[in-house]
């Protein structure tokens, strides 16, 4: 909650749109390159339904948003997105080792984690950039 307050106070309210867009998009590559923990359940349904074509089409809007926000206001947004993607992939690896695959609850946890980590990483990268 404090991170969102920081974004609003520092006139970065426009970051709220990419936060929620990218946090949901980040699980699409995870679903494409994961295996389900069990044969039934939401994780198995979602993971089995993503192919290369759906991955490509679902990446169009986030890519356009990334370019738009990077060019206009937030040039460090792509660094923050890569930082968040790196940690989501680490979380995916951890879940696959612990549970033998990915469940629907794991996907939801990744979304929540990305929603918190993305603004934190953006503010961190921005402060580091300003201090250079």
pTM: 0.83
Q: How many domains does the chain have?
A: 1
| Domain presence at residue 10 | no
Domain that holds residue 108: 24-122
Could you give the CA distance from residue 16 to residue 53 in angstroms, rounded to a whole number? 28
Question: For residue range 112-123, what is the model confidence (pLDDT) as tens digits?
Answer: 999 989 888 888
| Domain presence at residue 114 | yes
| Domain presence at residue 15 | no
| Domain presence at residue 3 | no
| Domain presence at residue 9 | no
Q: Exposure string (b/e) for 24-61, b if CB count within 10 Å is 16 or more? A: bbbbbbbbeebebbeeeeebbebbeebeeeeeeebeee
| Domain presence at residue 37 | yes
Phi, psi of 44, rounded to the nearest 5 degrees = -65, -40
Question: For residue range 21-70, what is the model confidence (pLDDT) as tens digits?
Answer: 889 999 999 999 999 998 888 888 888 888 899 999 999 988 888 888 77
């Amino acid at each position: 909650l404090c991170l969102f307050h920081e974004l609003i106070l520092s006139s970065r309210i426009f970051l709220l749109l990419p936060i929620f867009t990218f946090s949901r998009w980040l699980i699409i590559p995870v679903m494409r390159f994961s295996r389900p923990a069990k044969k039934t359940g939401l994780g198995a349904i979602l993971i089995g339904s993503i192919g290369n074509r759906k991955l490509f089409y679902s990446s169009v809007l986030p890519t356009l948003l990334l370019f738009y926000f990077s060019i206009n206001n937030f040039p460090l947004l792509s660094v923050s997105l890569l930082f968040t993607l790196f940690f989501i992939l680490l979380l995916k690896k951890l879940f696959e080792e612990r549970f033998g695959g990915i469940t629907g609850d794991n996907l939801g946890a990744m979304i929540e984690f990305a929603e918190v980590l993305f603004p934190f990483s953006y503010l961190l990268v921005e402060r580091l950039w300003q201090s250079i």
